[in-house]
Amino acid sequence: MNYREVSGDREFVARLGHGEDWRSEIEALADEAGVDAAWFVAMGAVQDATVWFYDQSEMEYREVEFDEPLEVAACVGNVSWLDGERFAHTHAVLSRASGQTLAGHLDSATVFAGELYVRSFEEELEREHDEPTDLDLWL
């Protein structure tokens, strides 16, 4: 295990823009507020979503698209640097009208309504390629 202590620095609450991209809204807040590292939680609803699942044997993401209204029952993630840009690593549990849930790495989604809480860290976090998993993980 690789770990280090981080200190909370600033906190933000935001309403995501209707019709905007869920993850892009989080990254825009990070850019505008100068947040280099953070943890976030969110909830709301989306009009559609693209979710990724990481195939550990093939070491690549599989994409699944949902072109339907979905509740964002839970959304959690972090902000860090990836390839010179702020990146919102976003996971979500989405719910259909039937109550069936879908979950995974949220690549994109069109916001219907969203509320976001962000706690930034004083220390910067950067992602770097991890050979055993073929993923970009925190240093």
Say which CATH number the domain at 92 has: 3.30.1330.80
Structure tokens at 139: 């240093």
3-state helix, strand and coil shares in percent for the chain, rounded to the nearest 5: 10, 65, 25
Q: Would residue 58 count as lying in a domain?
A: yes
What percent of the chain clears pLDDT 90, i.e. is strictly above it?
83
Report the number of distinct structural domains present in the chain: 1
Does 136 fall in a domain?
Answer: no
For residue 7, give the 3-state DSSP assignment.
coil
Q: What's the mean pLDDT in 19-35?
A: 97
Residue 5 has pLDDT above 80, yes or no: yes
Domain presence at residue 78: yes
The one-character DSSP state at 17 is P
Supply the range of the domain harboring residue 48. Answer: 12-121
Give the pTM: 0.91
The share of the chain scoring above pLDDT 70, in percent, equals 100
For 60-107, write each residue's pLDDT tens digit: 999 999 999 999 999 999 999 999 999 999 999 999 999 999 999 999
User: Rounded mean pLDDT of 27-35?
Assistant: 97
Measured at the CA of 131, the angle between CA 57 and CA 109, to 5 degrees, comes to: 65
pLDDT of residue 7: 84
Distance CA 82, CA 114 (A): 24
Domain-located, residue 35 = yes
- Provide the pLDDT confidence category of residue 8 given band limits of 50, 70 and 90: confident
In a domain, 90, yes or no: yes
Q: Would 138 be classed as within a structural domain?
A: no
Domain presence at residue 2: no
Confidence of residue 32 (pLDDT cuts 50, 70, 90): very high
- CA 2 vs CA 5, 7, 108, 137, 138: distances in Å: 11, 17, 29, 11, 9
Residue 4 placed within a domain? no
Q: What is the mean pLDDT of the chain?
A: 94
